[in-house]
Homo-oligomer: A and B are copies of this chain.
Amino acid sequence: MRTRDVNKENLIQEKAIEMIVKQGLDGFSMQKLAKAANVSPATLYIYYKDRDDLITQLATSVSNRLMETSLKGMHPKMSFADGLELQWKNRMEFFFKYPLDVEFIEQIRYMPTYDSVRDNIRKNFGDVLGKFVHNAINRGELQPLPFEVYWSMAFAPLYQLIKFHAQGNSPANASFRITDDMVKQTLELVIKALKP
């Protein structure tokens, strides 16, 4: 039996993400991807059922890696400030290591395709995060809030900063770059907001 070429598999994923980030989902095609990855179009259909499946699998894989990184070193009993700081640090680390991956997720996050990915995240990581938040509330380190309110305060500002950086552009500044100080400052504001 012939063996699967793992390098080829990785190259396909890499090029697909690169293409989608740089040209958008509608500038992305199976034939262009095949050419970019030095592979026959038919090969793509060995790895993926169809175009939609390719995108979903890609999103699932990247999301899982991002969530795993974000929860590295987390345990549900951590203090709220420490736990949130750790998650921010982990996410920033991931962003600087794999900026295209983050942009890729941001780009497909609001598409119908992403629904199943979200379910997957909830299933795999909802437990740890749910417990962390629950414990923090019980210890009085975090206001009791609807989860959505919590999530919107806890992470949306970070992602907005990342977006500004990724597009090198903000409402006030046409060549914006994120700094560690900025992230730290924003995190402090978030913690201030969420503490009782």
Using CB atoms and an 8 Å cutoff, list the residues of chain A in contact with chain B: 22-26, 28, 103, 106-107, 110-113, 115, 118-119, 121-122, 126, 129-130, 143, 145-149, 151-153, 155-161, 163-164, 167, 169-174, 176, 178, 182, 185-186, 189-190, 192-194
CB-based contact B173/A148 at 8 Å: yes
Q: Once bound together, how far apart are the Cα atoms of A55 and B23, in whole Å?
A: 15
Interface residue from B110, B151, B170, B192 paired with A103 (Cβ < 8 Å)? B110
Report whether over half of chain A's contact residues are helix, strand or loop; otherwise say mixed. helix
Please state if B153 and A157 are interface contacts (CB–CB under 8 Å): yes
- Kindly list 4 other residue pairs between chains A and B, CB separation below 8 angstroms, not including A26-B28, A118-B167, A156-B157: A121-B171, A122-B171, A126-B171, A156-B159
Bound CA span A26–B24, Å: 9
Q: Which chain B residue shows the least CB distance to A129?
A: B171
Residues of B within 8 A of A167 (CB): 110, 115, 118
CA distance A156 to B146 in the complex (A): 17
**What residue in chain B is nearest A119 (Cβ atoms)?**
B174
Please give, as numbers and ranges, the residues of chain B lying within 8 Å of A186 by CB-CB distance.
149, 152-153
A171 vs B126: C-alpha distance in the bound complex, in angstroms?
7
Please, how many angstroms separate the alpha-carbon atoms of A110 and B121 in the complex? 22
Q: Which residue of B lies closest to A27 (CB)?
A: B26
Q: Which residue of the partner chain B has the closest CB to A179?
A: B146
Q: Is the CB of B185 within 8 A of A145?
A: yes
- Greatest chain B CB density within 10 A among A147, A148, A156 is at A148
Q: Is A189's CB under 8 angstroms from B28's CB?
A: no
What is the CA–CA distance of A23 and B110 in the complex, to the nearest angstrom?
A: 11
4 smallest A-B Cβ distances: which pairs? A26-B26, A193-B193, A147-B172, A156-B160
